[in-house]
């Protein structure tokens, strides 16, 4: 007899098990994923009373975030902090960012001040390098992760492929390398960067990838100045910067749950008619609403703004001309006793301006000969191909000729060096001309 082939055992469907399994899957799906946190880094890169406006911008941005419920423990502030209690401040302990505006300094928790305001420390904060900042300031850094959003705001002077700090420069390559590091190491879900500086577009143009979840807007394009605004006769300085004031005043009154980053960009671009506001990076992120980056869970009461605020462009002036213009405005309102001192300051500053211009012209002449005038002060956007030359030349000028973090007028002609690089002159030839011209150091 043939043996019957043994049939494989078949289990009858167990409906009870299936129901339990489905219920388990549904329960797991129903467990809410912990929402990411919002983090912010706010930086004023300058110091001295004449640069009042940059710290005012940053203090105002702190108040905007806090008034919209941002967790103070997640805000890192870097500012020199030599303005609020400056001997020139007629209202000690108070900083304002618009005419007759509210005090924006009170309550600002400062993490890095004075000599700790450096490019290296800023990059360590972004990268979350706690060990590198041990014993420096509060030592706080971004502790954000892959579910968290990060908002960065920087206000100061700038130039082609650089933004300035009191004694040092931050190169575009250094900043973008840090941002790429953050992406690679999952330091954020999405990151938004607002940058106030002259030629600020050059920090991201052709450099910031469009696929690493970063959206940036800048006060100007790669070849033009950004503008200071709101000269205050009582304080003898400018209170704000046009791009910064425009986004801050918009955020003061915006509905964060409905207004998008793109809408804010469009408002700021329209209102900032003194420079060309630009956007870079992953532009699709601009569809996100403001609350994803500038707010927290529980909004508080916003600062009381003055009933009427003049438009920031009413007296706007190029950041490079702000120091001289402020002196002339002070002179116009001076008493007879004050006039001689102010006139002497203006004459001294004009002499410095002439020295700066002649220095750039001398460098251009050594490099380009009869073609020097073509490059002097030319508005030439730096390109990726000549980035190493441009960064090396600007850094050498800063180290050898004038501190670009302190002498903002020297930044006005920094594109002379960019033009020489873009024309293809060897980097070593340009560096040699800088050393030869600035041999007083």
Question: For the segment 359-382, what is each residue's pLDDT rounded down to a tens digit?
Answer: 999 999 999 999 999 999 999 999
Q: DSSP 3-state assignment of 385?
A: helix
Round to whole Å and give the CA distance between 210 and 282: 4
CB of 249 closer than 8 Å to CB of 57: no
User: What average pLDDT does this structure show over 29-43?
Assistant: 74
Q: What are phi and psi of 41, to 5 degrees?
A: -125, 120
Q: DSSP 3-state assignment of 24?
A: helix
pLDDT in the model for residue 298:
72
Which of 59, 60, 68, 198 is catalytic? The answer is: 198
Percent of the chain surpassing pLDDT 70: 90
Q: DSSP 3-state assignment of 3?
A: coil
Comparing C-alpha atoms, which of 89, 114, 112 is closest to residue 41? 112
Residue 297: pLDDT band (50, 70, 90) is confident
Round to whole Å and give the CA distance between 400 and 432: 11
Q: Are strands 75-78 and 38-44 parallel, antiparallel or unpaired?
A: parallel
pLDDT in the model for residue 292:
96
DSSP 408: G
Comparing C-alpha atoms, which of 52, 54, 35 is closest to residue 44? 54
In which element (H, E) is residue 159 found?
A: strand 158-159
Residue 35: pLDDT band (50, 70, 90) is confident
Residues 6+ apart with CB under 8 A from 224: 198, 199, 275, 276, 379
- Say yes or no to pLDDT of 190 above 60: yes
pLDDT in the model for residue 7:
52
- Say yes or no to pLDDT of 6 above 90: no
Residue 304: pLDDT band (50, 70, 90) is low
Cα angle value 332/335/338 (rounded, 5°): 95
CB atoms within 10 A of CB 114: 13
Percent of the chain surpassing pLDDT 90: 88
Round to whole Å and give the CA distance between 216 and 281: 6
- Say yes or no to pLDDT of 32 above 90: no
- Higher-pLDDT residue of 304, 39: 39
Round to whole Å and give the CA distance between 408 and 18: 72
pLDDT in the model for residue 209:
98
Residue 439: pLDDT band (50, 70, 90) is confident
Cα angle value 232/233/236 (rounded, 5°): 80
- Supply the mean pLDDT for the chain: 92
CB atoms within 10 A of CB 359: 20
pLDDT in the model for residue 27:
42
For the entire predicted model, the pTM comes to 0.91
- Higher-pLDDT residue of 7, 118: 118
Residue 33: pLDDT band (50, 70, 90) is very low
Q: Give buried/exposed letters for 17-37 (b at 16+ CB in 10 A, else e).
A: eeeeeeeeeeeeeeeeeeebb
60 is catalytic: no
Round to whole Å and give the CA distance between 200 and 337: 41
Round to whole Å and give the CA distance between 263 and 272: 14
pLDDT in the model for residue 18:
46
Which of 54, 60, 68, 157 is catalytic? The answer is: 157
- Say yes or no to pLDDT of 19 above 80: no
pLDDT in the model for residue 260:
98
Q: Are strands 214-218 and 190-196 parallel, antiparallel or unpaired?
A: parallel
Q: Which two tokens stand for residue 94?
A: 């108070």
Chain segment 207-246, per-residue pLDDT in tens = 999 999 999 999 999 999 999 999 999 999 999 999 999 9
CB atoms within 10 A of CB 358: 11
198 is catalytic: yes
User: What average pLDDT does this structure show over 170-193?
Assistant: 98
Q: Are strands 162-164 and 158-159 parallel, antiparallel or unpaired?
A: antiparallel
Comparing C-alpha atoms, which of 154, 75, 81 is closest to residue 114? 81
Residue 441: pLDDT band (50, 70, 90) is low
Terminal-to-terminal C-alpha distance of the chain = 111
In which element (H, E) is residue 344 found?
A: helix 339-368
141: exposed, middle or buried (Cβ count in 10 Å: 0-12, 13-18, 19+): buried
CB of 49 closer than 8 Å to CB of 237: yes
Residue 253: pLDDT band (50, 70, 90) is very high
- Say yes or no to pLDDT of 384 above 60: yes
The CA distances from residue 338 to 42, 327, 341, 343, in Å, are 37, 12, 6, 9
Chain segment 53-110, per-residue pLDDT in tens = 999 999 999 999 999 999 999 999 999 999 999 999 999 999 999 999 999 999 999 9
């Amino acid at each position: 007899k043939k043996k019957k082939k043994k049939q494989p055992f078949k289990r009858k469907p167990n409906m009870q098990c299936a129901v339990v399994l489905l219920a388990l899957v549904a329960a797991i799906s129903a467990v809410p994923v912990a929402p990411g946190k919002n983090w912010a880094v706010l930086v004023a890169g300058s110091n001295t009373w004449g640069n009042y406006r940059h710290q005012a911008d940053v203090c105002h941005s702190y108040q905007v975030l806090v008034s919209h419920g941002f967790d103070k423990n997640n805000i890192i502030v870097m500012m020199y902090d030599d303005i609020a209690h400056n001997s020139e401040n007629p209202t000690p302990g108070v900083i304002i960012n618009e005419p007759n505006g509210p005090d924006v300094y009170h309550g600002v928790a400062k993490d890095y001040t004075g000599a700790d305001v450096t490019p290296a420390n800023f990059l360590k904060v972004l990268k979350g390098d706690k060990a590198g900042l041990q014993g420096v300031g509060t030592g706080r850094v971004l502790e954000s992760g892959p579910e968290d959003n990060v908002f960065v705001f920087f206000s100061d002077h700038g130039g082609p492929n650089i933004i300035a700090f009191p004694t040092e420069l931050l190169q575009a390559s250094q900043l973008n390398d840090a941002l790429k590091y953050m992406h690679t190491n999952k330091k954020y879900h999405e990151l938004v960067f607002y940058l106030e500086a002259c030629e600020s577009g050059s920090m991201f143009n052709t450099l910031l990838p469009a696929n690493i979840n970063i959206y940036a807007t800048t006060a100007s394009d790669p070849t033009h100045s950004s503008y200071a605004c709101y000269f205050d006769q009582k304080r003898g300085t400018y209170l704000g910067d046009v791009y910064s004031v425009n986004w801050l005043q918009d955020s003061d009154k915006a509905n964060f749950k409905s207004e998008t980053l793109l809408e804010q960009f469009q408002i700021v671009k329209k209102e900032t008619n003194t420079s060309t506001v630009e956007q870079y990076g992953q532009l699709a992120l601009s569809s996100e609403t403001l609350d994803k980056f500038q707010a927290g869970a529980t909004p508080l009461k916003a600062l009381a703004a003055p009933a009427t605020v003049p438009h920031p462009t009413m007296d706007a002036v190029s950041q490079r001309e702000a120091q001289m213009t402020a002196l002339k405005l002070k002179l116009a309102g001076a008493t007879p006793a004050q006039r001689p001192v102010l006139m002497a300051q203006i004459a001294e500053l004009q002499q410095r301006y002439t020295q700066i211009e002649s220095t750039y012209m001398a460098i251009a002449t050594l490099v380009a000969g009869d073609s020097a005038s073509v490059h002097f002060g030319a508005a030439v956007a730096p390109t990726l191909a000549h980035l190493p030359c441009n960064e090396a030349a600007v850094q050498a000028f800063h180290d050898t000729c004038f501190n670009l973090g302190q002498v903002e007028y020297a930044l006005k002609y920094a594109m002379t060096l960019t033009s020489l690089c873009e024309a293809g002159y060897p980097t070593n030839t340009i560096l040699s001309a800088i050393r030869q011209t600035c041999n007083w150091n």
